[in-house]
RNA sequence: AAAGCUGACCGGUCUGCCGCUGUCCCUUAUGGGGCUGAGGAAAGUCCGGGCGACACAGAGCAUUCCACUUCCUAACGGGAAGCAGUCGGCAACGGCUGAUAAACGCAGAAGAAAACAACCGCCGCAAGGUAAGGGUGAGAAGGCGGGGUAAGAGCCCACCAGGCUUGUGGUGACACAAGUGCUGUGCGUCUUGGAAGUUGCAAGUUCAUGUAUACCGGCGUCAGAGGGCUGCUCGCCUGAGCCGGAGGGUAGAACGCGCGUGGCUGUAAGGCCACGGAGCCUGCCGGCGACGACAGGUCAAGAUUAAUGGCAGACAGGGAAGGUACGUGUACCGACUCUACAGAACCCGGCUUACAGGUCAGCUUUUGUU
RNA sequence: UGGGCUAUGGUGUAAUGGUAACACUGCAGAUUCUGGUCCUGCCUUUCCUGGUUCGAGUCCGGGUAGCCCAG
């Protein structure tokens, strides 16, 4: 991995209505820390590689496109700079991860405050991914 | 100088590191480099047009929209310059309204009465005459004064407001002059002139994947269901399926989608040849063919879970407590603080709304100096 | 992105341009030994803002908020 630690390309975005529907119906595991809520879904490596994310800012709370873009950019910038541990955790276990960032407040946040909250959520998610994989492998061994 | 009015315009710049969209190149399981990348409103979606798809024999009726004049425009409910009225402002100027005095309908409460009139009153012996008075209202027989009269009335006269006729000026809305007793207010209907097929790029075209019209109900196959023309009626066209319930599949990709065309400015505008060429005709070969002049500069994003960013620093432009200098209202310095509204999604022309701050031009009022 | 609709007491709905109405809820009072029923009263800048009109909930501009539809 060269400069890939801080990239965010088309490959890492979650698209396609099928996949998004699956994420919100099957993958109802949530981690939330106001104002951010995560919805995520682990799947087999064959379906898609690595981590794919989607960022949502509700039109109900932000009527202007400028504000919605601002939130998306804040989150995206955070993910770009500090998602390496998560990616390693997922990639090392041959899984794919679909992930949705939902912004849930009705006013804009400062970048610093938002980043600290995001960091907390990401740490919890990384731990959860590791535990999940280990428990599943344990089940396999039992069988 | 201060306050204001009108019109036009700008609305940050640079550096470093990391990153994104599109595209090209080099390497090629990867990566590197070049170029490129939001607005005056991209917004609201309030109008108009292009473009696409579907539809389009015709007649009558209805519906909706527009409405002072002239010009601009592809078109518009847009713009420019005017006309009349009205409101705001000392003024510069700005806002709003504007086809139709025939005919018909309506006008709550208040008020005698909302218009052929009636009632009280006034005059008169009476028959009857009478819109001067009735103070309510947005509106009361055009207003006000004089004459006149039994009392009154455009019944008559002067002035004023409006209408009509004639003349003059203006492309025209109108203006001015003369004549004419023609005259209540508001809204609507009606009338006059003009316009309107439907739907919108999630339009639409192509490809890929995949599936079942299983089942139930209703109507119908020339005495004709259903569909289309259009909102309705007629009429015309089409002619075996159609409608409702309930179900099955897909929801991916490409084109549409943006450097060769369009408009702008200037010059020239006569012919011939060559080339390009929307479209039309045809079974094919092929034929016809509007239009296209030159130069200059301008414009140039094309995503599709949706790019145009993040961090740091410097500069620039305001505002400013306060400080320094001297001729006491000017220079210089200045901690601190501010830098808006807002993000393309098929493309244009307007309108409307949001907007820190700034620039230029013209004009108005007040004050001061010469 | 494009297209469409709505806004009236706390809630659900009415109202031809002419006094904002009805039902339920809530609150206060009255009745009762107490509570319920019953009775009386109260709670509205008709989403905001300009215009037309003598007079707008209604008609016409502009804005705000909410909702719906689509290949």
**Distance from C-alpha of A67 to C-alpha of A41, rounded to nearest angstrom:** 28
The architecture CATH gives domain A12-125: 2-Layer Sandwich (3.30)
Question: Can you say whether residue A104 is alpha, beta or left, with left for phi > 0 and alpha for psi between -120 and 50 degrees?
Answer: alpha
A109 touches strand B (CB under 7 A): no
pTM of the model: 0.73
Query: Which pair of tokens denotes residue A46?
Result: 């064959």
**Distance from C-alpha of A52 to C-alpha of A127, rounded to nearest angstrom:** 18
Q: What is the ipTM of this complex?
A: 0.76
List the A135 CA – B306 C1' distance (angstroms).
Answer: 37
List the A60 CA – C47 C1' distance (angstroms).
Answer: 18
Beta bridge partners of A54: A100
Regions of chain A with pLDDT less than 70: 1-10, 27-28, 44-49, 132-143
List the A60 CA – C58 C1' distance (angstroms).
Answer: 31
Look at residue A6 in the predicted model and tell me its pLDDT.
57
Look at residue A137 in the predicted model and tell me its pLDDT.
47
**Distance from C-alpha of A73 to C-alpha of A71, rounded to nearest angstrom:** 5
């Amino acid at each position: 991995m060269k400069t890939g630690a801080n990239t965010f390309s088309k490959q890492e975005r979650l698209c396609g209505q099928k996949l998004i529907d699956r994420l919100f119906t099957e993958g109802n595991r949530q981690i939330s820390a106001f104002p951010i809520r995560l919805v995520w879904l682990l799947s087999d490596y064959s379906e898609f590689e690595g981590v794919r994310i989607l960022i949502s800012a509700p039109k109900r709370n932000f009527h202007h496109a400028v504000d919605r873009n601002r939130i998306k950019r804040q989150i995206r910038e955070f993910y770009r700079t500090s998602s390496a541990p998560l990616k390693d955790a997922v990639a090392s276990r041959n899984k794919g991860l679909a992930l949705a960032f939902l912004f849930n407040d009705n006013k804009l946040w400062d970048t610093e405050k938002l980043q600290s909250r995001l960091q907390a959520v990401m740490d919890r998610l990384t731990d959860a991914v590791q535990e999940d994989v280990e428990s599943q492998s344990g089940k396999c061994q039992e069988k």
